[in-house]
Amino acid sequence: MATIRDVARRAGLSVATVSAVLNNKPVVSERSRRKVLQAIEELDYRPNRVARALSRNSSNTVGMLVPSVDNPFFPQVVKSVEDVFFENHFVTLIGNTEGKPERALYYIKSMLSGWADGLIITLTWEMTQPEVLDNLKRARVPVVGLAGARIIPEFDAIIPDDTEGAFDAVSYLVDLGHRQIGFIGVQDSQSTALRLQGYKDALQQAGLPVHNDLIMLGRGYEKADGYMLAKALMCCSPRPTAVFCYNDVMALGALTALREENIRIPEDVSLMGFDDTAGPYCHPQFTSVALPKSEMGFLAASLLLDRIRGKEGPPETVTVRPRLVVRDSTGPGPHLRDKAARASKERSQTFVQTKR
């Protein structure tokens, strides 16, 4: 097994310099730091956490990796994680992977090279790429997965019930009288696959056909993707009377696209998001499937803290249930409107006949 002296020899630097890199001290130049990290990788060096804990009373620091700090889903999750660790005298350091395996790998190697007592990751695509996953599995500290749908069996995980959330959402649209319901999602996304399954299950339970031409999948999760996919949906014949979006950000893009076509929401088309990050802050306010973001962060941090403190046992997977929040962007579909119109006409005719 490689030692710190082996790393110093391979890097051509002093043991003190290697130690400074391992302890994340700012006194080392970027060039020397890269040499040390390269030597650590080549030698597969892993610092002895027990010895480090004895000498430094542990680092009391954890790392957390998220795919995008710009995504409005994550700030509330991160805050909840930080709150738990702050109360327990830990520092939480955040790494933004931008969904890129190379960035994830850089942060993982840095965080696990000597100072992190544990790691929280999102269960997203970049974390399951072979080299990234291999480094995570070789970590000598506990790792907890959060959100996403790419479960890693070796790690604890806190995940939302995406299928159930989508089922509830689409069932609500069906109950409103919608029969042509569009779906906007993301290609090669396991979360999309789970939400799409809920969409299909709701239609099939209601005895409605699944129209594949009303299922639009794009390459990304952003407003621009929702915009383009909504434009494509509006070209379908017959046009959908409701649109269920993978997330609220894509729903915002869809909202812009529908307005450009002079389509009223919800009078002409009902629009629904998922994750409830933008629902209360747009006009009309979105009906959305709310994920318990604070609860998920709290559960992930609490589980990691337990593992750091020595809790043993097989990996745990905790599933949290989403909640449908009804607001102004959804309304009665043609089926209910026609039914209401017929009922109104019948009442009018009855009134006229009674008057005669």
348 within some domain: no
As a whole number of angstroms, the distance between CA 120 and CA 66 comes to 9
| Residues 38 and 168 grouped into a single domain | no
Q: Would you say residue 298 lies in a domain?
A: no
Residue 69 in any domain: the answer is no
Query: Which of helix, strand or coil describes residue 248?
Result: helix
Residue 226 lies in a domain: yes
Domain count within the chain: 2
What whole-number distance in Å separates Cα of residue 309 and Cα of residue 18?
Answer: 28
**332 and 205 fall within a common domain:** yes
In a domain, 271, yes or no: yes
With b for 16 or more beta-carbon neighbours within 10 A and e for fewer, the 121-149 pattern comes to bbbbbbbbeeebbeebeebebbbbbbbbb
Q: Does 184 share its domain with 327?
A: yes
DSSP strand E in the chain: where?
A: 61-66, 91-96, 119-123, 143-148, 156-160, 181-186, 215-218, 242-245, 270-275, 287-290, 317-320, 323-325
Give me the residues paired with residue 122 across strands: 146
User: In the sheet that 143-148 helps form, which strands lie side by side, from edge to edge?
Assistant: 91-96, 61-66, 119-123, 143-148, 156-160, 317-320
Does residue 176 lie within any of the structural domains? Answer: yes
Q: How far is CA 92 from the centre of its chain?
A: 19
Distance in angstroms (rounded) separating the CA atoms of residues 139 and 153: 15
> What is the per-residue pLDDT for 221?
86
Among 141, 124, 122, which Cα is nearest to 49's?
141
Cα 50 to chain center, whole Å?
34
3-state secondary structure (DSSP) of residue 146: strand
pLDDT score of 24: 67
Q: What is the pLDDT of residue 339?
A: 57
CATH number at 34 reads 1.10.260.40
Average confidence (pLDDT) per 10 residues, the chain, 356 residues = 86 90 79 89 71 57 91 91 95 93 93 85 91 90 90 93 97 96 94 97 97 95 95 95 97 97 96 94 94 96 94 94 96 71 44 46
Q: Please indicate, yes or no, if residue 261 is contained in any of the structural domains.
A: yes
Q: How far apart are CA 356 and CA 351, in angstroms?
A: 9
pLDDT value, residue 28:
86
Is residue 278 assigned to a domain? yes
Q: How far apart are CA 278 and CA 276, in angstroms?
A: 6
- CATH code for the domain in which residue 197 is found: 3.40.50.2300
Domain extent at residue 27:
1-45
